[in-house]
Structure 1
Amino acid sequence: MTTPAAHLWFEAALLPEGWARQVAVEVAGGRIARVDAGMVPPAGAERHAVGLPGLPNLHSHAFQRAMAGLSQVRGPSTDSFWTWREVMYGALDRMTPEDVEAVAAQAYVEMLEAGFTRVGEFHYLHHDRDGTPYADLGEHAARIAAAAQATGIGLTLLPVFYAHGGFGLQAPAPGQRRFINDVERFSRLMEASARAIAPLPDAVLGLAPHSLRAATAEEIAALLPLTDGPIHIHVAEQMREVDDCLAWSGRRPVDYLLEHAPVDGRWCLIHATHMTEAETVRLAASGAVAGLCPITEADLGDGIFPAEAFVAAGGRYGVGSDSNVCINAAGELRLLEYSQRLGWRARNVLASHSGASTGRSLFDGALAGGAQALGQGGAGLVAGASADIVSLDLTRAAFAGRQGDVLLDAWIFASRGGGVDCVWRGGEKVVEAGRHRARESIEARFRASMARLGG
């Protein structure tokens, strides 16, 4: 959607070179036309206290928002990712295309209200409930695109290739029937996905081999020519996955992937939780982004990513909401740091240097890494970038007396949820006073789907 030129003015804004005062931002055609500091408010400019770049959410399974809260009951044995996965399979079995769209729209509303302005949708729910492909292979991709259009969020669609149930060409489990494709049909699904997102002004199409469990190295090689967009893959999320990969190949998952695929700056390795020191250094050197989802990883008991060593080796990272059990941009950054503190029994682990703000370091890292992972091009409050902007609500007690980097520390570590006032996506205001413009109608449709799906 093309929007007319508009002017925003912030008492303070975070620019690539740092904080600036009295910042005027001109928006035209959905992009930032110019940014000037030390300016009086232009005539007709909309005025706000603090402006930040919107954050990328590099990893989402939108449909899983429908099962948030349904997996918190202990089973007869030790619960794990693998028992959670069975609950997830049961939840998706009942979802129709209409449900997929309604649930995705609700998730995207919550992302925008939290300060996420673009989502990487790791989209693997492709087929009908019995596993039969729809007449239009892109039926669910079109539903995801419709949800993005209704909410205004930027979309990087990552259709997922899923062919096997485990290492060594194991047959898929019954619960995976809605995911499964061979390379030929997946290539047609990619074409259908491209058509589905075509109406969105700045959508990006990448692809996602689901994991080394679900896609062989040969299949991944055959998929790569299907797009020049980003490539995402789950890897080394669970120790059982590491053990199974070792038993099958004699190598650990990250090591195997780096040896058998051309991993570079186009790639995003989701989780990469369980790596040796050598794998950590090699992944950092590849230029790929580590896609970290701390809230989901904690919910599933995955483990702690070696963030300190990865960043010290020059590694890039971003954050995502993954299972969407609790959508909270500041919360993902907070838990990323807190997990390191718990693991190392230290404080301010991911601050970039002595005297640096931890909140600022986390924000800058997630902004740059997330933008790279989603094929976003330029990011931040800079001419030429998409006008994806977040303002903070300084009436919140957590922000009292705070300025500069301490505002980011307060938002991430001291705010009781929220803290976001307005959000502009592609220059269009989609959130005001912390509430999405279409929340009422989108939530009503979500509630109707949830009532039908049941718990």
Structure 2
Amino acid sequence: MARDHELTGRSLFAAHALLPNGWARNVLVQWDGDGCIMGVAADSVAPAGVPVAKGPLLPGVPNLHSHAFQRAFAGLTEYRAESQDSFWSWRNLMYRFAARITPESLEAIATWLYVEMLEAGYTAVCEFHYVHHDQGGTPYADDATLSLALLRAARNAGMGITLLPVLYQTSGFGGRPPRQDQARFIRSTDNMLSLLERLAPATQAQKAALGLAPHSLRAVPPDSLAAAVRGLTALNPQAPIHIHIAEQTQEVEDCIAWSGQRPVQWLLQHAPVDARWCLVHATHMTPAEYAGAARSGAVAGICPTTEANLGDGIFDMPLWLQHGGRWGVGSDSHACVNAAEELLMLEYSQRLQRRQRNVLASTAQAEVAAAMTLQAVQGGAQAAGRAIAGLAVGQQADMVVLDAHHVALRDLPPHSMLSAHVFGSHRTSAIDSLWVAGVCRVSQGRHALHETAAQAFVAARSATIAPD
């Protein structure tokens, strides 16, 4: 039995908390020494000495899709590079930036990014990591060098992480050879499985999850995809699998030209897609693909601000939900790093598409911000392959407290504060504090590493930007 002072240090009382089944009053949350929630009691009385939240208590939101190095690239492509700019012209510029990343700069960029994420309400990240080799494409002496840099960044910032090394082999459908500017990404299937074996002890020591990211159908031929999934399953049958799919209309057209099928249609018929899978973007699907993908149990990984930045298109969320689909949000290229703003962009895109309001409210949750938060937490936890599914016994104590005295929230009814946070507080953050695995990582809106990590990021970015 834990001593009273230990429980006091592993407890938090909130007058209002968003639990998996909705809002509750006077909630006492307690967790053990590993940061696992062992008690959630509503209608409680605050025990003596237990900290009291300064505002509503929320579950932490998992960020289910991240390319960490691209944070240093944000804002540097907002000019017309071609007569009609697109995802593909943006990608060419991004490749030039990726060619200059070093292990040291990647760690500095990722550390600052994870600090930003924590300050913005994310408590976990799924890192879709595809820059593997040195600047000429030659493997480092330790083939896991860049993966380990990301794990260190997450550990130092206190961010929960699911590491997803990316399998990348071809530059297009039909086995087209890789481009020269993709040399840092390329691995054989056997080499990828060896990397996963190398990383398993490091992720286990850090209580991180380890999965696999076949980059896309255009970058991983069918035989390699099947072999990689089999090999991953042999290593860990529960390991998550993430894949970019149907993000761009050109990708859909190229897939049809190659196979006679659309990307999601092909994947569902040729791969064992189930609840382990996260279909990142999945922007361009037919109604039959929406139904089939939702039935598979896979999570849709929606990245609203990146999809808007790149001109991808709009995911049909009501149709997905109609079929019982699960979803989560990611910040992807990190043009924006803010969990609330991803939810806002997601809801606003649906409003623009349908010319309606409060599209993603549910029968159980009429308040759209609460409905989206709970769904994003559930889907994000599934995609991460970790027990981070909200304020419930057996889940990790990943929690966010809003500042009830923030001008956007002050004197509002408690159930309205989350709505004000998502839809009205972005000039200054309304987050007061944040915990990951029961450890307070953000206090009074600021991470302890904020200044030092920011300075290191700026230096790394300056050193990485290619001269004109």
- TM, length-normalised to structure 1: 0.97
Letter in 1 for 2:287: E
Letter in 2 for 1:173: R
Query: 1:144 — aligned with what?
Result: 150
Cα deviation for residue 135 of structure 1 reads 1.3
* Aligned partner of 1:364 among 350, 358, 374: 374
Query: 1:175 — aligned with what?
Result: 181
CA distance in 2, matches of 1:316, 1:415: 27
* Aligned partner of 2:46 among 41, 44, 59: 41
* Aligned partner of 2:450 among 415, 435, 439: 439
Q: Secondary structure at the match of 1:86?
A: helix
Cα deviation for residue 355 of structure 1 reads 7.4
Q: Secondary structure at the match of 2:284?
A: coil
**1:408 maps to 2:418:** yes
Check whether the contact 2:400–2:431 (CA below 8 A) recurs between aligned residues. Answer: yes
**1:217 maps to 2:222:** yes
Query: 1:386 — aligned with what?
Result: 396
Query: 2:118 — aligned with what?
Result: 112
Cα deviation for residue 197 of structure 1 reads 2.2
CA distance in 2, matches of 1:37, 1:365: 21
Check whether the contact 2:26–2:45 (CA below 8 A) recurs between aligned residues. Answer: yes
Q: Secondary structure at the match of 2:314?
A: coil
Query: 1:342 — aligned with what?
Result: 352
Letter in 1 for 2:387: G
Greater CA drift, 302-311 or 31-40: 31-40
Structure 1: gaps (5+ residues): none
Letter in 1 for 2:59: P
Cα deviation for residue 404 of structure 1 reads 4.5
Check whether the contact 1:138–1:196 (CA below 8 A) recurs between aligned residues. Answer: no
Superposed, 1:175-254 pairs within 5 Å as: 175-200=181-206, 202-224=207-229, 225-226=231-232, 227-228=236-237, 229-254=239-264
Cα deviation for residue 361 of structure 1 reads 1.3
Check whether the contact 1:136–1:192 (CA below 8 A) recurs between aligned residues. Answer: no
**1:428 maps to 2:433:** no
Give the number of equivalent residue pairs.
452
Check whether the contact 2:97–2:465 (CA below 8 A) recurs between aligned residues. Answer: no
- Quickly say closer, same or farther: Cα 1:18–1:147, change in 2 above 3 A: same
Cα deviation for residue 289 of structure 1 reads 0.4
Query: 1:15 — aligned with what?
Result: 19
Q: CA RMSD in A?
A: 1.5
Superposed, 1:276-425 pairs within 5 Å as: 276-353=286-363, 356-377=366-387, 379-417=389-427, 418-425=429-436
CA distance in 2, matches of 1:245, 1:389: 42
Superposed, 1:44-63 pairs within 5 Å as: 44-48=49-53, 49-63=55-69
CA distance in 2, matches of 1:355, 1:372: 21
Deviations 1:251-278 (A, max 9, x none): 0000000000010111000000000111
CA distance in 2, matches of 1:76, 1:253: 27
- TM, length-normalised to structure 2: 0.94
Query: 2:30 — aligned with what?
Result: 26
Greater CA drift, 260-269 or 395-404: 395-404
Letter in 2 for 1:26: Q
CA distance in 2, matches of 1:22, 1:86: 53
CA distance in 2, matches of 1:76, 1:305: 26
Check whether the contact 1:398–1:415 (CA below 8 A) recurs between aligned residues. Answer: yes
Deviations 1:218-255 (A, max 9, x none): 21111113243111000000000000001111100000
Letter in 1 for 2:402: L
Deviations 1:34-88 (A, max 9, x none): 1222222222211112211100100000010110111101123111000000111
Q: Which portions of structure 1, spanning 4 or more consecutive aligned residues, are displaced by more than 3 angstroms?
A: none
Cα deviation for residue 354 of structure 1 reads 8.7
Query: 2:163 — aligned with what?
Result: 157
Letter in 1 for 2:443: E
- Quickly say closer, same or farther: Cα 1:355–1:103, change in 2 above 3 A: closer
Letter in 1 for 2:254: D
Query: 2:279 — aligned with what?
Result: 269
CA distance in 2, matches of 1:383, 1:377: 10
Deviations 1:93-144 (A, max 9, x none): 1111000100011110111011100100001110000000111111011000
Query: 2:269 — aligned with what?
Result: 259
Cα deviation for residue 380 of structure 1 reads 1.2
Greater CA drift, 293-302 or 166-175: 166-175
CA distance in 2, matches of 1:206, 1:405: 37
Cα deviation for residue 181 of structure 1 reads 0.5
Cα deviation for residue 447 of structure 1 reads 1.7
CA distance in 1, matches of 2:348, 2:187: 39
CA distance in 2, matches of 1:76, 1:143: 35
Structure 2: gaps (5+ residues): none
